[in-house]
Structure 1
Amino acid sequence: MHALHTLHNLHRPLGATELLVSPLGLGTVKLGRDQGVKYPSGFRIPDDTAARELLALAQDLGINLIDTAPAYGNSEERLGPLLRGQRDHWVIVSKAGEEFDAGQSRFDFSPAHTRFSVERSLKRLQTDYIDLVLVHSDGNDMAILQDSGIYQTLAELKREGKIRAFGLSGKTVEGGLLALEQGDCAMVTYNLGEQGELPVLDYAETHGKGILIKKALASGHACLEPGVDPVRASFELIFAHPAVTSAIVGTINPQHLEQNVATAAAVIQDIA
């Protein structure tokens, strides 16, 4: 594939961690779960062959970041065998705090559950370390970070070498700021329609912390002129901010993935 249309030469450090990641990451909720997901159209969970092809394509396109979570149904269990023999090629992000059973989410941020959850993710992913574990917030970011003990437990797991970095996938500015002050990375919502968490990006920029963007392509189409490509406009907004390390895209459509990568590569090269 032509280098201009891939992300191979565009990897960047995730804050002050030693992780080098592609500017787009592959989100894998659709590999593991089709209930309780907010997508406009239904989809079929890809079988192993389709999932293996998608991962191979992502790698060809220069994507090395893969985002999963215990709450993504059996995503982690599927990724373990699918990534066998390729561990060094991937930066794996998982979460702790949210469980998804029988169509319902439930949350547990206690130290004991956090340790159990990370150990279980290691087994499911068939690896002895996870690059980044994020607190999968229910929205009460400050209470979780200050009262539950989850951050202290993640710091211990980092010292033990079981995880390389930790942070918060949260929903509030205050939570994002505290998460960065005491951790390595925040995953924030930032898109054409929603920019309320911008102060978290600004803090990350001045303090050398990592930022991952979720819901990067959430439909802010309403605010666009006719004829404007929403994917390009989204990436122009996101990558214009120097704090943004990577945006997670959750497509299982190979063509969409190729288009997303080509667009992101073009936007990043234009900004540079």
Structure 2
Amino acid sequence: MLPRRRLGLTELEPGIISLGTVKFGRNQSVKYPDSFNLPSNEQLRELLAAARDLGVNLLDTAPAYGFSEERLGDLLRGERQSWIISTKVGEEFEPDKFAQEGRSWFDFSARHTRASIERSMRRLRTDYLDIVLIHSDGNDLDILEQSPVIDSLCRLQQEGWIRAIGISSKTAEGGLKAAELCDLVMVTYNPQNPHEEAVIDRCRDLGKGVLLKKVLASGHICHDAPASGKDALEQALAFALGKPGVTSAVIGTINPAHLRANCLAAMAVLHD
């Protein structure tokens, strides 16, 4: 079973590996090295069962992940209390029925924020959300300082709809600001892109949680590795999980074997 770490000052304790669910509901305009078909419900049930057995207990989703929220809502019936659910607000995605590309657009208004949270709760069949992250368009500081989204999320948190709030940031400056304002920050961090390391350090100083994204560079680290994929995987996870202040690495997959390999590699590098 994966060890767990406290998410900052919250009461949430995710396993050191969390499961990203982009591939549950979207296969257009994504940055993975190989194309893929959306999995069946049976395949997803097998994946979630494997995740539960391994100690993975945080599922990361978003409205921009196509049908991911709806599918999770159906798949987790009767199991809500077993999972930490993290979703997002701000980005919307419109798939193209006739091509392989879709279109993202962003709205950080108070009205859209509340409507998005209400919709996510309906889709996920839950009366609360453990984590809600702002899905940044890249203008982190403008979003945090000029839009009403933080105030809106804080009000919803006070009303009991959300347990923890944060941002999935795209700049170090935005992540550092979010560390002051939020419960947690999700940052990109891997050997090819260590540029937000200062955010992790700041969160650690402030007692804030840190979730990592793109730990495997959307799969490219293992896919492009000249040596064995296992070596590249363990090196990336050692880099990510060995950094003080990191709570959990969110890695997306729809392959139970890949999930097991990720978890076993994570446990191996922590014991080295």
Task: Identify which of 260, 263, 267 aligns with 1:261.
Answer: 263
Contact 2:200 2:210 in 1 (8 A): yes
| In 2, Cα distance between equivalents of 1:91 and 1:242 | 22
Q: Give the aligned partner of residue 16 of structure 1.
A: 9
Alpha-carbon displacement from aligned partner over 1:205-237 (angstroms, at most 9, x marks no partner): 111110000000113469978457111000110
| In 2, Cα distance between equivalents of 1:77 and 1:193 | 34
* TM-superposed deviation, 1:249: 0.8
Change (3 A) 1:101 1:65: same
Contact 1:96 1:136 in 2 (8 A): yes
1:152-171 mapped onto 2 (5 Å cutoff): 152-171=151-170
3-state secondary structure, aligned to 1:42: coil
Give the TM-score normalised by structure 2. Answer: 0.94
Q: Does 1:189 align with 2:182?
A: no
Q: Give the aligned partner of residue 3 of structure 1.
A: none
Q: Which amino acid counterpart does residue 56 of structure 1 have in structure 2? A: A
Q: Give the aligned partner of residue 242 of structure 1.
A: 244
| In 1, Cα distance between equivalents of 2:223 and 2:79 | 41
Change (3 A) 1:198 1:126: same
Gaps of 5+ in 2: 96-101
1:207-246 mapped onto 2 (5 Å cutoff): 207-218=206-217, 219-220=220-221, 226=227, 229-246=231-248
Q: Give the aligned partner of residue 82 of structure 2.
A: 89
Q: Give the aligned partner of residue 118 of structure 2.
A: 119
| In 2, Cα distance between equivalents of 1:68 and 1:246 | 15
Q: Which amino acid counterpart does residue 251 of structure 2 have in structure 1? A: V
| In 1, Cα distance between equivalents of 2:221 and 2:120 | 34
3-state secondary structure, aligned to 1:165: strand
Give the TM-score normalised by structure 1. Answer: 0.94
| In 1, Cα distance between equivalents of 2:198 and 2:191 | 16
* TM-superposed deviation, 1:180: 1.2
Q: Does 1:138 align with 2:140?
A: no
Contact 2:33 2:223 in 1 (8 A): no
Q: Which amino acid counterpart does residue 208 of structure 1 have in structure 2? A: G
Q: Give the aligned partner of residue 63 of structure 1.
A: 56
Alpha-carbon displacement from aligned partner over 1:97-122 (angstroms, at most 9, x marks no partner): 00001310000000110000001000
Q: Give the aligned partner of residue 204 of structure 2.
A: 205
Task: Identify which of 96, 99, 103 aligns with 2:92.
Answer: 99
Question: How many residue pairs get matched?
Answer: 263
| In 2, Cα distance between equivalents of 1:205 and 1:211 | 8
Contact 2:216 2:222 in 1 (8 A): no
RMSD: 1.5
3-state secondary structure, aligned to 1:94: strand
Contact 1:64 1:90 in 2 (8 A): yes
| In 2, Cα distance between equivalents of 1:88 and 1:13 | 17
| In 2, Cα distance between equivalents of 1:186 and 1:118 | 19
Contact 1:192 1:220 in 2 (8 A): no
Contact 1:191 1:220 in 2 (8 A): no
Q: Give the aligned partner of residue 107 of structure 2.
A: 108
Change (3 A) 1:113 1:86: same
Gaps of 5+ in 1: 1-5
